[in-house]
Structure 1
Amino acid sequence: MLFILLGVLVLHLIILILLIVSTAASTWSVGDTGSTDLWYNCKTASDGYHCKPASSDDWIQAVQALMILSVLFCFCSLIAFLYQLFRLVKGGRFFFTAIFQILASVFVMCGAIIYTVMRPDNHTEFGYAYVLAWVAFPLSLISGLIYIVLRKKE
């Protein structure tokens, strides 16, 4: 049982790291002249590398909010798991943790879908931060489902 709990904890930490990196990294779209992320649009010009804030469109603000919410819910889920690990009665399930983790999964999925549909330049390729967000989605969903099935044993 200790190995299962340790494995679930490591999976949760990996998901949290993936979400933080995908939210903060500067490569959601990559083109010939620069990169775009949730926060900045960076271009390479003859006089150097210049970054300006991301557009103030509603869709990019929605993606920003959803990605931040996914990080917060994943972190709250980790705290809830650690709390329930020591306070939950024997035989109890980690429902509270599972709800937070599944919500984090839904938020990251919605954010990535909105970015996919509304990205400003269709001539660019998706960057690694975008891919990390899509990798974090099924992992957090699986983690949430594991928390629903998992029971605390002595």
Structure 2
Amino acid sequence: MLLILLGVLVMHLIILILLIVSTAASTWSVGGDGTTDLWYTCRNSNGGYHCKPAISEDWLQAVQALMILSLLFCFFSLIAFLFQLFKLVKGGRFFFTAIFQILASVFVMCAAIIYTVMSPDDGSVKFGYAYVLAWVSFPLTLISGLIYIVLRKKE
């Protein structure tokens, strides 16, 4: 039982790291002369690398908010798991933790879908690794939430 709990905890920490990197990294899309993320647009020009704040459109602000919410809910889920691990009665399930983790999964999925649909469709622009990490963290977060539903506290 201890190995299962340790495995779930390690998986949760990996998911949290993936969400932090995908939210903060500077490569949601890569163009011919620079990168774009949720916060800045950086370009190679005049022999230097210049960054300016990202466009202030509603869809990008929605993606920013959803990614931050997914981070917060994943973190709160980790805190709830650790709290329930020590305070939950024997045989109890981790429903509170599961709800937070599934909500984090839904938020990251919605953010990635909005970015996919609304990002500029230019032939030279490709999605970057932070975008891919967001999509990778979605099923992992959902699976983790489902594991918390099934998981029972033994001793």
Matches of 1:48 and 1:148, distance apart in 2:
51
Partner of 1:12: 12
* Cα deviation, residue 120, structure 1: 2.3
Residue 91 of structure 2 aligns with an amino acid whose one-letter code is: G
Residue 150 of structure 2 aligns with an amino acid whose one-letter code is: V
Residue 150 of structure 1 aligns with an amino acid whose one-letter code is: L
Task: Say which is worse superposed, 44-53 or 54-63, in terms of deviation.
Answer: 44-53
Matches of 2:9 and 2:122, distance apart in 1:
38
Provide the alpha-carbon RMSD of the alignment.
0.7
- CA shift digits 1:2-39 (9 cap, x unpaired): 00000000000000000000000000000110000000
* Cα deviation, residue 149, structure 1: 0.2
Residue 12 of structure 1 aligns with an amino acid whose one-letter code is: H
1:106-121 to 2 correspondence within 5 Å?
106-121=106-121
Matches of 2:44 and 2:121, distance apart in 1:
16
1:1-150 to 2 correspondence within 5 Å?
1-123=1-123, 124-150=125-151
TM-score, normalization by structure 2: 0.98
SS in 2 for 1:139: helix
Q: Any stretches of 5+ residues in structure 1 without a counterpart? A: none
Matches of 2:47 and 2:33, distance apart in 1:
13
Identity of aligned residues (%): 83
- CA shift digits 1:80-120 (9 cap, x unpaired): 00000000000000000000000000000000000000012
- CA shift digits 1:35-94 (9 cap, x unpaired): 000000011112311100001100000000000000000000000000000000000000
Structure 1 runs of 4+ off > 6 angstroms? none
Matches of 1:97 and 1:47, distance apart in 2:
50
SS in 1 for 2:50: strand
Q: Any stretches of 5+ residues in structure 2 without a counterpart? A: none
SS in 2 for 1:50: strand
TM-score, normalization by structure 1: 0.98
Matches of 1:50 and 1:66, distance apart in 2:
27
